[in-house]
Structure 1
Amino acid sequence: MAELPRHSVSVTAVVLHPVGRVLAIQRADDGRWVPPGGVVELDETPEHAVIREVLEETGVQIKPDVLTGVYKNMVLGVVSLTYRCHPIGGEPHPSDEALQSAWLTLDEVKDRMPEARAIRVLDALRSDGPFVRVHDGSRLL
């Protein structure tokens, strides 16, 4: 039997600041504003991956609180696990992967992020999840 294509697994962090803002990065590769996150390495748990990715991309240390959603990019075959998190140290700064790293208001999230990324933030603020959604990289399907 032929080997089937494999999915890539990634994590997304919705980091909520006590003053009501959300941590976001402006990606260095395409300039889009998104919540921080990235690929889960083979030797790490999703929780460890989300902690590592946020620190690498923003300089902010976090603690994951709860899984709030599962999002699949139907074009690329990437499944992303989204965690609501809270900051425990550090200040946002640019990195190799982020032109900017900042605490955004919810209005800024809605204005700057593609729909497929903003919905992860909005879902993380709800208490009736976790949610399962599919998208094309920009829009929900």
Structure 2
Amino acid sequence: MTIHKKSMSVLFFAVILNYVAQIPYYFHQYYFPHHIAPNWSGVALLVLTLIWFLVGYFRFVDGKRYGWSLLLSFLSAQVLFYGHSLVLSFFGGGTIAQLRTHSPFLLVIFLIGDLNFLVAMYYLVWMLYKRQR
């Protein structure tokens, strides 16, 4: 399968934007109002999943061994995580509440997460489709 790095750049920037957005989100929601220090296990999980993505992404676009599997597994985890969150919050009214938030800052963060979910789902389906051809 021939991979065009340019066509994969949307995925790269969407995922990186989502990771970067976690930092101001944490400060806004937890540190500034409550002065709660970051949970080290949460930070470790965030760093490990970022490494998982970066290794899978760069191995995939360079056509190296295990790139497809690593990236596909990362995208599957993202789609399941965000999909699960969206479905549960939809039935609990959280999805609508997110869009009606009083904070434009939080609205942008929530939309970045939703964009990340949609982009991950698109590339997951695209990778599976291309693999079959």
TM-score of Structure 1 vs Structure 2, range by shorter chain: under 0.3
Relative to its length, the structure with more strand (as a share) is: 1
TM-score w.r.t. structure 2 length? Answer: 0.26
TM-score w.r.t. structure 1 length? Answer: 0.25
Relative to its length, the structure with more helix (as a share) is: 2
